[in-house]
Amino acid sequence: MKSNERLFITDWLEFLDIKRRNKRLFRRAFDWKREKHYKWGGWLSPILLEAQNRFIAEKFLPHLSKESVVLDMGCASGDFAFSIADKVKEIHGYDISKRMISRARRIAKKKRGGGELRFYAQDATKAKFLVNFDCAAILGATLYIFDDREVLSLLKNIARHMKKGGMLVAVDSLASGADTIYLYRPLDSYSACYRNEGDYFRMFDKAGFELVESDVITQKQEPLMDSRQVRSLALFRKK
Ligand SMILES: C[S@@+](CC[C@H](N)C(=O)[O-])C[C@H]1O[C@@H](n2cnc3c(N)ncnc32)[C@H](O)[C@@H]1O
Protein backbone atom coordinates (compact mmCIF):
# COMPACT_ATOMS: atom_id res chain seq x y z
CA MET A 1 0.00 0.00 0.00
CA LYS A 2 2.01 2.99 -1.19
CA SER A 3 -0.69 5.61 -1.13
CA ASN A 4 -3.92 5.03 0.64
CA GLU A 5 -6.56 7.34 -0.72
CA ARG A 6 -9.11 6.47 1.94
CA LEU A 7 -10.18 9.30 4.12
CA PHE A 8 -10.95 8.72 7.76
CA ILE A 9 -13.91 6.44 7.84
CA THR A 10 -15.15 5.22 4.51
CA ASP A 11 -16.47 1.91 5.66
CA TRP A 12 -18.47 1.76 8.87
CA LEU A 13 -18.19 -2.01 9.27
CA GLU A 14 -14.45 -1.76 9.01
CA PHE A 15 -14.48 1.10 11.49
CA LEU A 16 -16.54 -0.90 14.01
CA ASP A 17 -14.22 -3.84 13.60
CA ILE A 18 -11.16 -1.68 14.22
CA LYS A 19 -12.92 -0.12 17.23
CA ARG A 20 -13.55 -3.60 18.64
CA ARG A 21 -9.88 -4.51 18.22
CA ASN A 22 -8.70 -1.27 19.79
CA LYS A 23 -10.79 -0.91 22.92
CA ARG A 24 -7.82 0.47 24.84
CA LEU A 25 -7.29 3.17 22.26
CA PHE A 26 -10.82 4.43 22.69
CA ARG A 27 -10.48 4.43 26.46
CA ARG A 28 -7.22 6.35 26.30
CA ALA A 29 -8.77 8.88 23.93
CA PHE A 30 -11.01 9.99 26.80
CA ASP A 31 -8.08 10.07 29.12
CA TRP A 32 -5.97 12.19 26.81
CA LYS A 33 -8.57 14.67 25.71
CA ARG A 34 -7.25 17.44 27.97
CA GLU A 35 -3.75 17.25 26.48
CA LYS A 36 -2.65 19.96 24.06
CA HIS A 37 -1.25 17.62 21.43
CA TYR A 38 -4.03 15.09 21.11
CA LYS A 39 -7.25 15.65 19.27
CA TRP A 40 -10.03 13.33 18.28
CA GLY A 41 -9.92 12.01 14.75
CA GLY A 42 -6.30 12.89 14.18
CA TRP A 43 -3.66 11.02 16.07
CA LEU A 44 -6.25 8.77 17.60
CA SER A 45 -7.84 7.62 14.37
CA PRO A 46 -7.80 3.82 14.65
CA ILE A 47 -7.43 3.32 10.90
CA LEU A 48 -4.26 5.40 10.84
CA LEU A 49 -3.04 3.86 14.06
CA GLU A 50 -3.38 0.34 12.69
CA ALA A 51 -1.45 1.25 9.52
CA GLN A 52 1.21 2.88 11.67
CA ASN A 53 1.45 -0.13 14.00
CA ARG A 54 1.76 -2.47 11.01
CA PHE A 55 4.62 -0.40 9.54
CA ILE A 56 6.43 -0.34 12.89
CA ALA A 57 5.90 -4.07 13.48
CA GLU A 58 7.14 -5.05 10.02
CA LYS A 59 10.00 -2.58 9.52
CA PHE A 60 11.27 -1.45 12.93
CA LEU A 61 10.64 -4.17 15.52
CA PRO A 62 12.79 -6.79 13.74
CA HIS A 63 15.82 -4.56 14.50
CA LEU A 64 15.26 -4.77 18.27
CA SER A 65 16.85 -7.35 20.53
CA LYS A 66 17.21 -8.10 24.23
CA GLU A 67 20.40 -6.00 24.11
CA SER A 68 18.77 -2.90 22.60
CA VAL A 69 18.65 0.47 24.31
CA VAL A 70 15.82 2.43 22.72
CA LEU A 71 14.79 6.09 22.69
CA ASP A 72 11.08 6.99 22.49
CA MET A 73 10.94 10.74 21.81
CA GLY A 74 7.49 12.26 22.49
CA CYS A 75 6.50 9.12 24.38
CA ALA A 76 3.32 10.52 26.01
CA SER A 77 2.08 8.04 28.63
CA GLY A 78 4.40 5.37 27.25
CA ASP A 79 2.14 3.18 25.13
CA PHE A 80 4.86 2.47 22.57
CA ALA A 81 7.53 2.03 25.25
CA PHE A 82 5.37 -0.51 27.12
CA SER A 83 4.55 -2.33 23.90
CA ILE A 84 8.25 -3.08 23.24
CA ALA A 85 9.38 -3.45 26.87
CA ASP A 86 9.57 -7.25 26.71
CA LYS A 87 11.73 -7.20 23.58
CA VAL A 88 14.52 -4.84 24.69
CA LYS A 89 17.00 -4.07 27.46
CA GLU A 90 16.16 -0.41 28.18
CA ILE A 91 13.72 2.21 26.94
CA HIS A 92 14.17 5.91 27.59
CA GLY A 93 10.98 7.91 26.99
CA TYR A 94 10.99 11.71 26.76
CA ASP A 95 7.95 14.00 26.66
CA ILE A 96 7.32 17.68 27.28
CA SER A 97 4.08 16.91 29.17
CA LYS A 98 4.74 16.38 32.88
CA ARG A 99 1.28 14.87 33.28
CA MET A 100 1.96 12.25 30.60
CA ILE A 101 5.36 11.40 32.08
CA SER A 102 3.86 11.01 35.59
CA ARG A 103 1.28 8.67 34.16
CA ALA A 104 3.95 6.66 32.30
CA ARG A 105 5.98 6.38 35.54
CA ARG A 106 2.91 5.22 37.47
CA ILE A 107 2.21 2.49 34.93
CA ALA A 108 5.90 1.50 34.82
CA LYS A 109 5.94 0.96 38.60
CA LYS A 110 3.30 -1.74 38.25
CA LYS A 111 5.07 -3.47 35.37
CA ARG A 112 6.98 -6.66 36.23
CA GLY A 113 9.74 -8.13 34.07
CA GLY A 114 10.89 -6.95 30.66
CA GLY A 115 13.29 -4.15 29.85
CA GLU A 116 14.02 -1.24 32.14
CA LEU A 117 11.76 1.77 31.59
CA ARG A 118 12.87 5.35 32.27
CA PHE A 119 10.75 8.42 31.61
CA TYR A 120 11.90 12.05 31.50
CA ALA A 121 9.77 15.20 31.40
CA GLN A 122 11.87 17.25 28.99
CA ASP A 123 11.41 19.38 25.93
CA ALA A 124 12.75 17.42 22.94
CA THR A 125 14.63 20.45 21.69
CA LYS A 126 16.65 20.62 24.92
CA ALA A 127 16.75 16.92 25.78
CA LYS A 128 19.77 15.68 27.68
CA PHE A 129 20.41 12.06 26.82
CA LEU A 130 22.17 10.02 29.48
CA VAL A 131 22.98 6.98 27.35
CA ASN A 132 23.60 6.01 23.72
CA PHE A 133 20.79 4.34 21.80
CA ASP A 134 20.74 1.38 19.44
CA CYS A 135 17.38 2.38 18.01
CA ALA A 136 14.99 5.32 18.31
CA ALA A 137 11.37 6.26 17.62
CA ILE A 138 9.81 9.68 17.11
CA LEU A 139 6.12 9.04 16.75
CA GLY A 140 4.11 12.17 16.11
CA ALA A 141 6.24 14.71 17.91
CA THR A 142 8.15 16.83 15.39
CA LEU A 143 4.93 18.34 14.01
CA TYR A 144 4.66 20.27 17.29
CA ILE A 145 8.11 21.82 16.91
CA PHE A 146 7.57 24.69 14.48
CA ASP A 147 11.14 25.83 14.01
CA ASP A 148 13.06 23.67 11.49
CA ARG A 149 16.34 24.60 13.19
CA GLU A 150 15.09 23.11 16.45
CA VAL A 151 13.97 19.90 14.74
CA LEU A 152 17.33 19.65 13.00
CA SER A 153 19.25 20.14 16.24
CA LEU A 154 17.03 17.53 17.95
CA LEU A 155 17.74 15.03 15.15
CA LYS A 156 21.47 15.81 15.32
CA ASN A 157 21.35 15.32 19.09
CA ILE A 158 19.74 11.89 18.58
CA ALA A 159 22.26 11.03 15.84
CA ARG A 160 25.17 11.88 18.16
CA HIS A 161 23.77 9.37 20.64
CA MET A 162 23.31 6.56 18.12
CA LYS A 163 25.73 4.08 16.70
CA LYS A 164 26.28 3.77 12.95
CA GLY A 165 23.63 1.47 11.48
CA GLY A 166 21.12 2.12 14.29
CA MET A 167 17.51 2.35 13.13
CA LEU A 168 15.14 5.27 13.66
CA VAL A 169 11.40 5.10 12.98
CA ALA A 170 9.58 8.39 12.47
CA VAL A 171 5.85 8.97 12.10
CA ASP A 172 4.58 12.43 11.35
CA SER A 173 1.82 14.45 9.77
CA LEU A 174 3.09 16.22 6.66
CA ALA A 175 1.56 18.36 3.92
CA SER A 176 0.87 16.75 0.56
CA GLY A 177 1.65 19.97 -1.31
CA ALA A 178 4.82 22.00 -1.69
CA ASP A 179 4.06 24.39 1.15
CA THR A 180 4.41 23.71 4.83
CA ILE A 181 1.09 24.17 6.64
CA TYR A 182 1.15 26.02 9.93
CA LEU A 183 -2.17 25.10 11.46
CA TYR A 184 -3.95 26.90 14.25
CA ARG A 185 -7.54 25.93 15.01
CA PRO A 186 -9.05 28.49 17.38
CA LEU A 187 -12.01 26.23 18.12
CA ASP A 188 -9.97 23.67 20.02
CA SER A 189 -6.69 25.63 20.28
CA TYR A 190 -4.86 22.94 18.33
CA SER A 191 -1.69 23.97 16.57
CA ALA A 192 0.67 21.89 14.46
CA CYS A 193 3.12 22.26 11.63
CA TYR A 194 2.73 19.95 8.63
CA ARG A 195 6.02 20.21 6.74
CA ASN A 196 6.34 19.46 3.07
CA GLU A 197 7.85 16.05 2.45
CA GLY A 198 11.03 17.36 0.80
CA ASP A 199 11.98 19.64 3.71
CA TYR A 200 11.10 16.96 6.24
CA PHE A 201 13.26 14.22 4.72
CA ARG A 202 16.14 16.66 4.07
CA MET A 203 16.32 17.39 7.80
CA PHE A 204 16.90 13.70 8.60
CA ASP A 205 19.49 13.48 5.86
CA LYS A 206 21.33 16.57 7.17
CA ALA A 207 21.25 15.16 10.69
CA GLY A 208 22.92 11.95 9.51
CA PHE A 209 20.05 9.53 8.84
CA GLU A 210 19.57 7.82 5.47
CA LEU A 211 16.04 6.92 4.44
CA VAL A 212 15.57 3.15 4.20
CA GLU A 213 11.84 2.90 3.54
CA SER A 214 8.78 5.09 3.73
CA ASP A 215 5.05 4.98 3.25
CA VAL A 216 2.40 7.64 3.23
CA ILE A 217 -1.27 7.52 4.16
CA THR A 218 -3.55 10.21 2.87
CA GLN A 219 -5.25 11.86 5.75
CA LYS A 220 -7.74 14.64 5.96
CA GLN A 221 -8.26 17.94 4.22
CA GLU A 222 -7.93 20.91 6.53
CA PRO A 223 -10.63 23.50 5.82
CA LEU A 224 -9.61 26.35 3.49
CA MET A 225 -6.37 24.69 2.45
CA ASP A 226 -5.37 23.25 -0.92
CA SER A 227 -2.94 20.81 0.51
CA ARG A 228 -3.87 17.65 2.35
CA GLN A 229 -2.48 16.42 5.60
CA VAL A 230 -0.71 13.09 5.07
CA ARG A 231 0.67 10.65 7.61
CA SER A 232 4.25 9.78 6.82
CA LEU A 233 5.80 6.55 8.10
CA ALA A 234 9.55 6.35 7.64
CA LEU A 235 12.45 4.14 8.62
CA PHE A 236 15.97 5.61 8.70
CA ARG A 237 19.43 4.22 9.31
CA LYS A 238 22.14 6.19 11.11
CA LYS A 239 24.90 6.87 8.56
C1 LIG B 1 0.46 13.06 19.07
S2 LIG B 1 1.29 12.67 20.56
C3 LIG B 1 2.12 11.17 20.14
C4 LIG B 1 2.44 10.35 21.35
C5 LIG B 1 3.07 8.98 21.12
N6 LIG B 1 4.40 9.09 20.56
C7 LIG B 1 2.17 8.12 20.28
O8 LIG B 1 2.51 7.85 19.13
O9 LIG B 1 1.12 7.72 20.76
C10 LIG B 1 2.59 13.87 20.59
C11 LIG B 1 3.41 13.87 21.86
O12 LIG B 1 4.54 14.70 21.65
C13 LIG B 1 4.75 15.45 22.82
N14 LIG B 1 5.50 16.66 22.49
C15 LIG B 1 5.08 17.73 21.79
N16 LIG B 1 6.04 18.65 21.70
C17 LIG B 1 7.12 18.14 22.35
C18 LIG B 1 8.43 18.62 22.62
N19 LIG B 1 8.84 19.83 22.21
N20 LIG B 1 9.26 17.83 23.34
C21 LIG B 1 8.87 16.60 23.79
N22 LIG B 1 7.64 16.10 23.56
C23 LIG B 1 6.77 16.86 22.86
C24 LIG B 1 3.35 15.73 23.35
O25 LIG B 1 3.33 16.07 24.74
C26 LIG B 1 2.64 14.43 23.05
O27 LIG B 1 2.71 13.53 24.14
First to last CA, the chain: 27
Q: pLDDT tens for residues 124-139?
A: 999 999 999 999 999 9
- Does the CB atom of residue 143 touch ligand 1 within 6 A? no
- Residue 183 makes CB contacts below 8 A (sequence gap 6+) with 190, 191, 192, 193, 194, 222
Report whether residue 103 contacts ligand 1, using a CB cutoff of 6 Å: no
Predicted local distance difference test score (pLDDT) of residue 177: 81
Pocket test for ligand 1, best of 31, 32, 75 (most atoms within 8 A of CB): 75
Q: Is the CB of 29 under 6 A from ligand 1?
A: no
Low-confidence ranges of the chain (pLDDT < 70): 1-47, 188, 219-228
Tell me if 150 sits within 8 A of 176, measured CB to CB. no
Which pLDDT score is estimated for 171? 95
Query: What was the pLDDT predicted at 1?
Result: 29
pLDDT confidence of residue 223: 55
Residue 173 CA to residue 130 CA, distance in Å, equals 29
The answer for residues whose C-beta is within 8 angstroms of residue 18's C-beta and 6 or more apart is 46, 47, 50
* Residue 234 near residue 201, CB atoms below 8 Å: yes
pLDDT at 217: 81
Query: What pLDDT was estimated at residue 131?
Result: 97
Cα(103)–Cα(17) distance, integer angstroms: 29
CA 77 to CA 97: how far, in whole Å? 9
pTM, two decimal places: 0.85
- Please, what are the domains in the chain? 3-238 (3.40.50.150)
Q: Is the CB of 145 under 6 A from ligand 1?
A: yes
pLDDT confidence of residue 10: 42
CA 144–ligand 1 middle distance (angstroms): 8
CA proximity to 85, closest of 106, 41, 40, 115: 115
Yes or no: say if 169 and 71 are a contact pair by the CB < 8 Å rule.
no
- pLDDT score recorded for residue 209: 98
Given 3-state DSSP classes, what are the helix, strand and coil percentages for the chain, each rounded to the nearest 5?
A: 40, 30, 30
Instruction: Tell me if 100 CB under 6 Å of ligand 1.
Output: yes
Q: Is the CB of 139 under 6 A from ligand 1?
A: yes
Question: 3-class DSSP state for residue 53?
Answer: helix
CA of 168 to the centre of ligand 1 (A): 16
